[in-house]
Each structure stands twice: as C-alpha cells, then as structure tokens.
Amino acid sequence: MSTLFQPLTLRETTIPNRVWMTPMCQYSAESEGPLTGAPNDWHLAHYGARATGGTGLIVTEATAVSPEGRISPYDLGLWNDTQVEAFRRITRFLVAQGTVPGVQLAHAGRKASTERTWKGGAPIGPEAHGWQPLGPSPVAFDARHPVPTELTVERIGEIVAQFAAAARRAHTAGFEVVEVHGAHGYLINQFLSPHSNHRTDAYGGSYENRTRFALEVVDAVREVWPDDKPVFFRISATDWLTDGGWTVDDTVRFAHDLHAHGIDLLDVSTGGNAAGVTIPTGPGYQVPFAARVKAETRLPVSAVGLITEAGQAQKIVANGEADAVMLGRELLRNPSWARQTARELGGEVRVPDPYHRSV
C-alpha cells in the first residue's frame, strides 16, 4: 500500500491515512446573538465534503477560546455549551465517514478584531462588532493594526484557563484530536518571538521566559484532555527575519520541550508574526522545516505549504520528511483529493456507500 495511505496511531487514536486537512478559517459564523461562534450549515457542508472525500484527519479552523480571542467576529469558538452542541453534529458526521475530527484551539492576540479576508481583513472597531486586541507587549503587528493592551500576569493565567476549558468542551463535542495554535503571529506565537515579546517579567526576555506561556497552555490542555488521545501543537518554525525573531533552531529546541510536556505531533508551518517580510514560497517550501524537526527530535511532524500533487505528497511521507501532509487550498479546490490520490497511488480510502459508482 502507498505510504501516504497507511494508518498512523498516536496514543490510542488511529488516523486512517496521512492526508490531513489543515485549519483554514471560513469566517462564516454568526457575529452576534446566541449562536455567536457556533458552526452552522456552511461548516457542516464544508467539513463533511472533505470527509466523504477520504481525508484522514480534519482539523477545524482556528476556534477561539474566548470572544476576544477570535481573529474576526465571524470565527468559531468553544467558550460556551451552545457551541459544543453545534459542533456535535459535525464530529458525528466526520466519524461516520471514517475521518478523525480535530479542533485547533486559538487566541489571536494582537491580530484579533479584523474584517473577513475577502473584505480586506483590515482591523475593525466596535461599530463593526470589533474590540480592543490583547498582546504580550504594547507593540502593534503593523501600521494599520492598533496597539494591543499588554496582558497582565493575572490575565495571562485566565487565558491559560480558557484554553483548558475549551479543551474540555472539545472533548464533550466529540473531537478526537486537539491542536494548540502557536503559529502565524497569533497570541502564543507572539509570546514565543522576541520580535513581538518585549516583556521584562517572567514571560519575556530569555528563551525560557518567552516559552513559558506556551508550555503553561500545553500543560493545562494536556491535563484535561484524555490520556489516550493526542494533542498537537502548530508552530511557525521561523519568523523569516534575519535578526531578532524566532528561528528554526528555536523550533528544534522547543520541539524537545513540547515532547517532554506531552505533545504528540508538531504541525510545522512558518511566518505570520512579522509584517512585510519576504517569504520564498514554492511547492513544498515549508517541508524542510518539518523534516529538520523530525530528523533532530523524537516528535512526529506534519508538513504543510503548497503540497498539491500526489507524487509530491507520497514522497514527503515515504522519505521520512514528515509523518503526514496537511493540505489547505488544494482541498478547497478538490474535496475528494484523498480519494482520487488513493486511486492514483494504489492506496485505499473509505468510500461512502452512496458514492459506490465513483470507485
């Protein structure tokens, strides 16, 4: 069988293949009212289509642990029980298709309170359901973003507790994998990088201090998440800065720490924390970062970033550069990518009975 379509077991959760869906915000939840932050028919159809298409693991879009942790007013959340019930029908459907449901828990920090991307993604104020963003330091992301309110130590502790509470709700909602979002310039990434973290207390300065908040979140999530189910951590392996940012050397060092704190897989991406940087994109451009973590640590990894072709994905896994591939835009274009690729490579995925004529 194709390596890409062999199962992968993490703790006691078995994912049927190595074709996974990366979190991609849909900005389609209600922005106000009792269903704020709850998934709706769009999300059921969106995730359901990729499950019927054979995707082994689907990690839902960034799901905020608090209202002010959303990237936009239209993001999903897991801060109340109404949201839990709405997620249940999605996880039930994914499981019924043989797909493992995962959720990415997130806090946007200084990059919060923005408009939907197809409307420009600019920061918004209270008149458009926006709010004042929070951050490790009073340093704006760029010239158009507001200066965030610096978090107090007490408020940091509250956010750690919010991650734990969201993880409890995620389990109740039927998720089998939880991912802590520490990438793309959102709050945890902001603490990790000296580019955005200018604190002088126990949460800033040294590597140990800058990683403290992330590890506190991981410990809090791991404590409430079932021992037999995996916890992932998404990281930006580099800020793509020549000086004064988070580096791939930091990522390798941090991967050892994350493994010691109970993380089961590192989901390796890059960038998002520094505005105006040049990123040399191209097919599989982030795969070398995942490959280095896998080569230098004992932590399984997933790779993401312009992975679009069957042979390309197969090679990444077969060569041991990553344990799985995370697909994004390609799955937006083609929800049945996994099933079609399995046919091309001689692998197998579950085909729903109503689709038997497609085999």
pLDDT tens digits, residue range 2-57? Answer: 999 999 999 999 999 999 999 999 999 999 999 999 999 999 999 999 999 999 99
Q: pLDDT at position 159, please?
A: 98
Q: pLDDT at position 359, please?
A: 78
* Cα–Cα separations (whole angstroms), residue 355 to 2, 5, 106, 334, 351: 22, 19, 35, 16, 6
The correct CATH number of 3-358 out of 3.40.630.10, 3.20.20.70, 3.20.10.10, 3.40.50.620 is: 3.20.20.70
What does the domain layout of the chain look like in residue ranges?
Answer: 3-358
- The answer on pLDDT for 323 being more than 90 is yes
Q: State yes or no: is 186 an active-site residue.
A: yes
Catalytic residue (choose from 27, 47, 74, 186): 186
The confidence band for 175, taking pLDDT boundaries of 50, 70 and 90, is very high
Structure tokens at 68: 């002010």
pLDDT per position as a tens digit, 186-213: 999 999 999 999 999 999 999 999 999 9
How many residues in the chain? 359
The confidence band for 115, taking pLDDT boundaries of 50, 70 and 90, is very high
Structure tokens at 177: 């994998």
| Rounded CA separation 290/269 (Å) | 8
Q: pLDDT at position 311, please?
A: 96
Q: Among 320, 317, 306, 323, which residue's Cα sits nearest to residue 345?
A: 317
How many CB atoms sit inside 10 A of residue 58's CB?
25
Q: What is the mean pLDDT of residues 222-235?
A: 98
Structure tokens at 230: 């995996």
| Rounded CA separation 192/212 (Å) | 8
pLDDT per position as a tens digit, 268-322: 999 999 999 999 999 999 999 999 999 999 999 999 999 999 999 999 999 999 9
- The answer on pLDDT for 356 being more than 90 is no
Contact 156, 162 (CB under 8 A): no
Across all residues in the chain, what is the average pLDDT? 97
Q: pLDDT at position 357, please?
A: 86
User: Secondary structure of the chain: what % helix, strand, coil (to 5)?
Assistant: 40, 15, 45
pTM of the model: 0.97
Q: What is the mean pLDDT of residues 228-242?
A: 97
Q: pLDDT at position 358, please?
A: 82
| Phi and psi torsions of 266, nearest 5° | -105, 120
| Rounded CA separation 44/42 (Å) | 6
pLDDT per position as a tens digit, 91-111: 999 999 999 999 999 999 999
| Rounded CA separation 154/161 (Å) | 11
> What percent of the chain shows pLDDT beyond 70?
100
